[in-house]
Amino acid sequence: MAVFFNITISPTPKPPKPFTSSLSPPQTQISKAPQKPQQNPIFKIKGPSTLSGHISISGSKNSSLALLAATLCCSGSSLLHNVPNVSDIKAMASILTYLGAKVEAFDGNMIVNSDGVGNVEVDMEEMKKIRGGFFVIGPLVARFGEAVVDLPGGCEIGNRPVDLYLRGLSALGAVVELRDGKVRAHAANGKGLAGGRFRLDYPSVGATETLMMAASLADGITVLSNVAKEPEVVDLARFLIDSGASIEGAGSDNLVIRGKSQLHGSECVITPDRIEAGTFMLAAAITHSCISMSPIIPSRLSCLIDKLSEAGCKISQFNQHTLEVSAVPTYIGDNLKGFDIRTSPFPGFPTDLQPQAMALLTTCTGSSLVVESVFDKRMSHAISLVSFCPLIWIVRELQKLGARIRVCGSTALVFGKDEGSSLHGSRVFASDLRGGVSLVLAGLAAEGTTEINNIAHIDRGYENIDRKLQHLGVDIQRLTPVACPL
Ligand code: EPU
């Protein structure tokens, strides 16, 4: 572990609205425990399943990751409520702890105080696990003047560049170098970042979030254009504004950020995970069931709601935050109709629901086109190199379950149940978070027993998915493979 320097945080004026916790003392202190060799459990699902009942949607993983990184911008403590208990969040908590922040977790709440950060080099082991870890480069260089970060990890969804983060930070006065496989950034003037203008070539979620955090502490006004409009960007802006930042335009194409010399900690409730909610909506559809869920923000899922309605599902909104999805044959007939998807940035069809929707389409009638356009470059590249490609992988695993799908570049042609797809249980392997959960959905609809291996991928982003499915009536078990004695 390399610690480059100790940072002395000079005494700062009392923040205008500091957060002071009135809650009972935290029960868990996140610390870097020695790593035990991990058993990778498996799911066994007996299908076909019929789901019924109501489930609670957890807080958004991706909003939580961004907000946890943002606590590095804030003096004093921040309290986040409704943080999902998933392994990506634990990895992010470890990254913050390693830097010197105090992170406490209890009952879905996290308190973070980063006043003690004395290290600007991120733990490379944790960085390899999650893409969201790279976000800390913005707050670190903006508040502490320097950052050393490994290239990001996360789901194996191909070559995920970080050029927009780095060019954006340069536009804010950072010197950024790639040396020894690490990204090193420091404020060019030796003091801090300065406001600037930057246009993103692509509305990257992570680059928008990282630059928003950095600009909130830069000296002067920053204008970012062609930014991401994803709900998680809006959630982050809300948290930063509550912490004293001045940000206009979140949710639109342009952001105007007036930098402040310091931000203070604040309290925030993480919004519901739209991808988890969408996954359960697709689970109801693929099993021809009826379930309700809350809390959700329906406007964040309008694209999926439109597609499921087009397929023939009945979607009812009971109140502001409760939705029911019904695909029960008595009401909608025996078949759902296939539909085409093209993933795109918000408010388009989310790339994070593409594999789950592909599983559903194998059980619909007709053939459907699925075009992946968010991570398109890496897909065609991966195919031509015959190297790892999540689209190819997930198609191969779905094929083991009886799906009939053809892939060309970043487009898949999915043949429905009347065109050769017929799901049956088999032994499959999750290769990434969303691809992994699409196998769970296929397993719910398949005849017989489906065994899904490598479910640590699924645990990265779904809180207690097996228990939630059991609650809805699914026969799903989590098993830990027994190591073979030699
Ligand atoms: N891109 C660049 N240069 C950059 C950054 C991104 O070319 O510097 C490209 C990527 O290669 C990709 C596209 O921009 O083709 C979109 O990537 P983006 O940066 O928007 O994605 P991200 O910030 O890395 C977040 C979510 C992902 C989600 C995407 C798209 C987090 C931690 N991750 O990733 O979530 O798929 O936005 O919505 O917020 C997941 O939860 O399973 C997941 C992968």
Q: Where are the domains of the chain?
A: 42-58+272-479, 61-269
pTM of the predicted structure, to 2 decimals: 0.91
pLDDT in tens, 399-427: 999 999 999 888 999 999 999 999 999 99
Distance 412 CA to ligand 1 centre (A): 21
Average pLDDT over residues 11-30: 39
pLDDT at 27 > cutoff 70:
no
pLDDT at 34 > cutoff 80:
no
Judged on CB neighbours under 10 Å (0-12, 13-18, 19+), 472 is buried
Give CA–CA dist 208/189, Å, rounded. 23
DSSP string over 56-90: EPPBPHHHHHHHHHHGGGEESEEEEES----HHHH
Identify the residue whose tokens are 């403590």: 77
CA nearest 325: which of 362, 348, 364, 291? Answer: 291
* Predicted confidence band of residue 386 (pLDDT cuts 50, 70, 90): very low
Torsion sign, CA atoms 438, 444, 450, 455: positive
pLDDT at 390: 67
What superfamily does domain 61-269 belong to in CATH? Enolpyruvate transferase domain (3.65.10.10)
What would you measure as the largest C-alpha separation in the chain, in angstroms?
70
pLDDT at 5 > cutoff 80:
no
Is the CB of residue 252 less than 8 Å from the CB of residue 407? no
Distance 308 CA to ligand 1 centre (A): 25
Least confident of 226-230, 280-284, 407-411: 407-411
Q: What is the mean pLDDT of the chain?
A: 88
Give CA–CA dist 90/406, Å, rounded. 37
pLDDT in tens, 64-103: 999 999 999 999 999 999 999 999 999 999 999 999 999 9
CA nearest 281: which of 45, 51, 10? Answer: 51
Which ligand 1 atom sits closest to the C-alpha of 155? 44
Which ligand 1 atom sits closest to the C-alpha of 230? 38
Q: Give the number of C-alpha atoms closer than 13 A to the C-alpha of residue 191, restricted to the C-beta side.
A: 5
What percentage of the chain carries pLDDT values higher than 90? 78
What superfamily does domain 42-58+272-479 belong to in CATH? Enolpyruvate transferase domain (3.65.10.10)
* Predicted confidence band of residue 6 (pLDDT cuts 50, 70, 90): very low
DSSP-derived pairing of the beta strands 109-113 and 102-106? antiparallel
Amino acid at 132: G
Pocket of ligand 1 (CB under 6 A): 62, 65, 131-132, 155, 160-165, 202, 204-207, 228, 230, 232, 351-352, 374-375, 433-434, 461
Average pLDDT over residues 25-45: 62
DSSP-derived pairing of the beta strands 42-47 and 246-248? unpaired
pLDDT in tens, 101-145: 999 999 999 999 999 999 999 988 888 888 788 999 999 999 999
| Active-site residue flag, 73 | no
pLDDT at 239 > cutoff 90:
yes
Interior angle at CA 254, CA 249 and CA 255, nearest 5: 55
pLDDT at 13 > cutoff 60:
no
Residue nearest to atom 22 of ligand 1 (CA): 206
Q: Please indicate whether residue 460 or residue 31 has the higher confidence score (pLDDT).
A: 460
Three-state SS at 319:
strand
